[in-house]
Structures are given as structure tokens and as C-alpha cells.
Structure 1
Amino acid sequence: MELLAALQERGLQVSHSTLSSWRTGRRRPDAFRSLQTLSALEEVLGLEAGALTAHIVGRSPRIGSVPRQADVDPVDAELLAALPASPLENIRLLSLREEIFVDEALCISRIDTMVVLQCVKDGLDSFAVTRRSPHAADSSPVIEVHYGGSLLASHRHSGRLGTGYAIELSRRLSVGQTAVVALRTIFPADYPAQRSHVTRAWSSIRELVNVFHFANAPEWIEEVERSGSRARSRDSSPGPAGSLLQMKSKFGPGTISTRWGRLDD
């Protein structure tokens, strides 16, 4: 009961039966919905980071084939080539959750990211994150790694169209092992205004969740989903709490582009 109370103090509601079933092995934690609970349990129990979250396997324990990789555009290709990160083909994304915070001027101020990675080939000790700019930028976003790793290196695009970051994992993964990483991207005041967000899936992502938090509700929102030669668009609107939720299962390779604004823009 003390364990449940400690989790509740951290804003996590978990039943005694759920914890018991995890302990006995009758059930296994879900890759996305349980990772915050497992991270908190590591803290409460005084365990090393990854002691519990490393065993998340998503909805299937099978490794399967190496994920198919999409072609990478020239900007990302330059950034990836310059970073000391493990190859894309070594990685499967089990879960990706991003919370995008949009300020009163309708510009992105920060992005909070939580990702569950699985090693599918050779070994995995780092991975790359890229942040693209709408046009040439004189500054770069700041990356803070809050859990599961540390910032290893960064590289600015030669045309100032983005910055790439290599994130070193807290421990090296072997084939089949998983890791959870939480990071925050902060956009400085002099960074080009961003009234759009693009999720680029270089390979299939099992669970993808984007949550947009608008300080001021935009008057229009457009979502465009592209996969291969197919494209699908739709108009959306924020919910009553000023948020927009996107959820996809087994998405990619492809992109989800979201842009917003006012009618007089």
C-alpha cells in the first residue's frame, strides 16, 4: 500500500491488482501506457534507470524483421551523417509520444518527447533526433534529456535549416532489449516562428501519440498524413481544453504534418 501511495503522490493511479499481476508475470506492462509508472517505480524502489523499463516489449515480444526504412530527405541526411549515433536500421520505435506546447502567438515554444526504443540489429547505444527550422535560423533549439540518457553531440545544418542531436542511452542495448528516453526541446525567443509541426517516421512506429496544447485556440487546423505515394488531409479543431490529440497505430514510414493559424494570417 505504501508503494501505491508513493505512485499516487506522483499523479499515477495504479491498482493493487495491476502491480500484483506484473510481479507474478500474469501480465506484462504495455509499452506506452505503463512506462511512466515503471519509471516512477524505479525511482521509488531505488533502482537504476532502465531496471524495469528495459523489459518493455510493446504488444508483441517478437523481434521480427528489421524495420523497413524510408528515404531520408537531404536536410535530415546531412544531420544524421554528421552525428555519432547508432544506424537507423538498428532501431525500432515501439512508442513515440510528443506534447507540443503552442504559445499565445500560436508558435511552438517547447516539445516534450517520450520514446520507447528497441534494438533489432547489432547493438544500440545512441539515437538521433532532428529539429527542422521553417527557414534559415541563427540559433538552435535546446535539448534537455530528462530520463534514460544524455546529450552526446549536436550538429547544425550547413544551410541553417535544422539541428541534429545524438542522444546516448544510459546503457547499451542488445537485440531485443528496450529503453525509455524522455527529453524536452526548448525553442529560443529568436528562433523562426513555427506554426506547424511534422512527425517524420523513418520506419514503422507501433504507437504514435501527439498532443497539442494551445494557449490560444487557432481558428483553423489542417492535418496532412503522407505514406508512400498516398496523402490524406483533414480539417480539425482543438477540444474544449484547447488541445488536439493525434493517435496512430503502426504508422510509417511517412509523415504527419499539422499546421494552424488565424483566418487573417
Structure 2
Amino acid sequence: MDTSGTTRFGRTVQIPRLAELKAVRPREGAGDLLDVLRTGPFEAALDSAVRASGLSLERIQHRLAERGVEISVTTLSYWRRGRSRPERPQSRQAVRLLEELLDIPTDGLVSLLGPRRPRGRWVNRDSEVLETERLWREFGSLPELLAELGSTDDGLLRVAAHDSYELDAQGAGIRLTTRLTLKATRDRVDRCVVVLRGEDPDRALPEFTGVHNARLGRLRSDRSVPLVVAELFLDRTLSEGGTTLVEYTLRFPKNGRRAEECGRGFHAPALLYTLEVAYHPDAVPVRCLRCSSTAVTGIPLSAEPVWISAAGRVHAVFENPGPGFRALRWEWR
């Protein structure tokens, strides 16, 4: 579909012949799989194939990696739930391998994707799921930290987020309060995984306090960055589509370095991100920018000045933020 939404363009795709579909060896759920391969949509066919195979998404990811294709469990989960579709060349290659791994006839899944959508700097950016490795691409220790907590996919969509950051008279952060509106993308979701990046490797790690609707689980960290991965166990297990609100506060030790930014990374599209920063009256920056980038340490795709109030407060509202990093960055005298 073109960007005006009024004209549809397509191309001819190869549809598997009925005889080919019948060639799939019988297994549990094979009848349903054959039906959905004929009719689609892609996500329903992929979900049926995964169920029929008996393989976990983690096992499928591992087998794809053995064949040289790196796709995160989060991405596989979103393909399966229809939250995003394979668009990039590597993603299309992964679908070809999925047909082999899941014992599906050639083009059984690819034929359901149709033509690739238009690509460009801003076209359909929000339809993508950004893999952890790309969002945090300069932090080589993160995959290992996540692996120590098990699956990298916590099964939760960040529908909305609100961060409130406070700084001291030296310009160092003293408190960050976060409120998250979360929605389960699958059944039996019982935890939220949080990734935190600090400013000062010499500073002690922050303390989680005021945790609501969840309790703190394991913590893993790389003090050289510093980087922290934490799990929060939800007060109740969510079924697919279920929602919950989680709140927590991070208290930072005294005598830290001056902070220069605060922000949040998004793997998938959200509805709303609100960020507010409260500076100490004795340490107010000369300029503050509202920034968006494709990675946590990436060059901003956009940077717009925002007003710092007489009370030393600033905020930014990001509506429908797509995958990437959204932040406020400031300059000191």
C-alpha cells in the first residue's frame, strides 16, 4: 500500500499446490496447520506451525542462529502474535529457514507475507520490532546478562511509560520513579525485565524501592558500564491481552557524576511516553533537547529544544513512540 492509503500495489507470489501441502507429514495439529497455510494470515500460520512442532521459541531461535540467522525471541514472538511482520532481508531469510525447521512446504509461509512494504527513513518505522542487540548495540555484555535471567522475551508490551528523574545540587541523579502500563502478548506472563544504564562506573548500583504490583527478583550487572538487568515478578500471572500497572523507584547513592541525559528504549511501538526531569535550583543546565535515536547511544535522528521552567523543571511527551530510544539531553555551563 502506498503512503496515501488509497492505492494498493501487489505482485504475484507462488502459492503452494494442494499436493505439496498434503505432503506435510502427519503430526498433532497438522489438520489445522494445513487449513491456515491455505488461508492465512501469516501470524496464524506461524503460530499453528510452532504449536504443531512442539518447539519453544528459544529452541527455534537457537536453531536459526546455528544456520547463521540472528533473530531475537522477542521478534519471533511478535511475528507469531501479529504485532510485526518480517520486512528486512534477514527477516525474510529467517522465514525461509522457519519453513524448513517447522516442516512446512517451500513458500508455505513466505507466500502469506505478500510484497515487501515501502522502505525509507520514516515509512513504516513503527511496524518493526527492534531487537535487543540493535537497541543496545554498543553494550556487548547485555546478552549474557539477559541470558542469566532466562528468556530475553518477558512477553510484555510497554503500552505507556512515565519516568520522573530528579537531580541534586551537583547535577547527579538522586531518584528515578517509573510507572509502566503493561500488556501481555502471550499467556502465563509473570515477570517484567528491566534494563538500566548508569552514568558512573565508580558509583554504587541504585536501590529499588517503592515497588508496586510486583516484587524484585534477580539482579545482574556489569559494573564497568554500568549496566543493570533486573526482573520484577508480577503480583499476578497474566493471560494474553491482560494488563497491569507496575511502579518502582530507583534511589542513587550520593556523590555521582553529573548526568547529561535521561531516557528509555522501546523494542516495539507504544502509545505514550512521558519524561520529566527536575533539576536542583543550584544546578540548572543552559540548554535541553528532546531527542530520538535508533539506539541507546546512537546519533539523534531528531533533536528539538525544550523549555526549562523557572523552577528548573522540563518535560517531553512522545506520542506513539516507535522502536528506538527517546530521551532528554542537556548541556551544563
For residue 131 of structure 2, the aligned residue among 64, 71, 87 is 71
Q: With a CA cutoff of 8 Å and minimum separation of 6, indicate the structure with the bigger relative contact order.
A: 1
Alignment check: 8 A CA contact 1:151 1:168 kept: yes
Match of 1:239, SS? coil
From 210, 235, 241, the equivalent of 1:170 is 235
CA distance, structure 2, for counterparts of residue 87 and residue 107 of structure 1: 32
Per-residue CA deviation, residues 58-84 of structure 1 (Å, 9 max, x unaligned), is xxxxxx733643122234433322225
| CA deviation after TM superposition for structure 1 residue 168, in Å | 0.4
CA distance in 2, matches of 1:158, 1:219: 30
Counterpart-to-counterpart distance in 1, 2:202 and 2:191: 26
Contact 1:66 1:121 in 2 (8 A): no
Residue range with higher mean Cα deviation, 106-115 or 131-140: 131-140
Matching of residues 136-147 of structure 1 within 5 Å: 136-147=201-212
Residue from 83, 87, 93 that aligns with 2:158 = 93
> 1:139, 1:188 within 8 Å by CA — same for their partners in 2?
yes
Pick aligned residue for 1:81 from 119, 143, 147: 147
Deviation at 1:140, TM superposition (A): 0.8
**CA distance in structure 1 between the aligned counterparts of 2:220 and 2:235, rounded to whole angstroms:** 21
Structure 1 CA distance for aligned equivalents of residues 239 and 193 of structure 2: 18
CA apart distance, 1:227: 4.0
Taking the aligned partners of 1:107 and 1:79, their CA distance within structure 2 comes to 26
Secondary structure at the aligned position of 1:205 is classed as coil
The aligned runs of 1:1-265 (5 Å cut-off) are 65-66=82-83, 68-72=128-132, 73=136, 74-84=140-150, 87-88=153-154, 90-157=155-222, 159-216=224-281, 217-227=284-294, 231-263=301-333
C-alpha distance in structure 1 between counterparts of 2:256 and 2:288, whole Å? 22
Residue segments in structure 1 that go unaligned for 5+ positions in a row: 1-63
How many angstroms apart in 2 are the aligned matches of 1:158 and 1:220?
30
Aligned residue pairs total 199
Contact 1:94 1:116 in 2 (8 A): yes
- Closer, same or farther in 2 for the Cα pair 1:187/1:230, shift >3 Å? closer
Report which of the two has the higher share of helix: 2
Q: CA deviation at 1:154?
A: 0.4
Measure, in 1, the Cα distance between the counterparts of 2:302 and 2:191.
33
The separation in 1 between residues aligned to 2:206 and 2:288, in whole angstroms, is 24
Separation in structure 2 between the aligned mates of residue 220 and residue 100 of structure 1, nearest angstrom: 17
Asked if structure 1 preserves the Cα contact closer than 8 Å seen for 2:215 and 2:233, the reply is: yes
- With over 3 angstroms needed to count, the CA separation of the structure-2 counterparts of 1:93 and 1:234, relative to structure 1, is same
Q: Which moved more, 1:152-161 or 1:198-207?
A: 152-161
Amino acid at match of 1:261: E
TM norm structure 1: 0.67
Offset of residue 189 of structure 1? 1.6
Q: Which residue of 2 aligns with 1:40?
A: none
Whole-Å Cα distance in 2 between the matches of residues 161 and 108 of structure 1?
Answer: 14
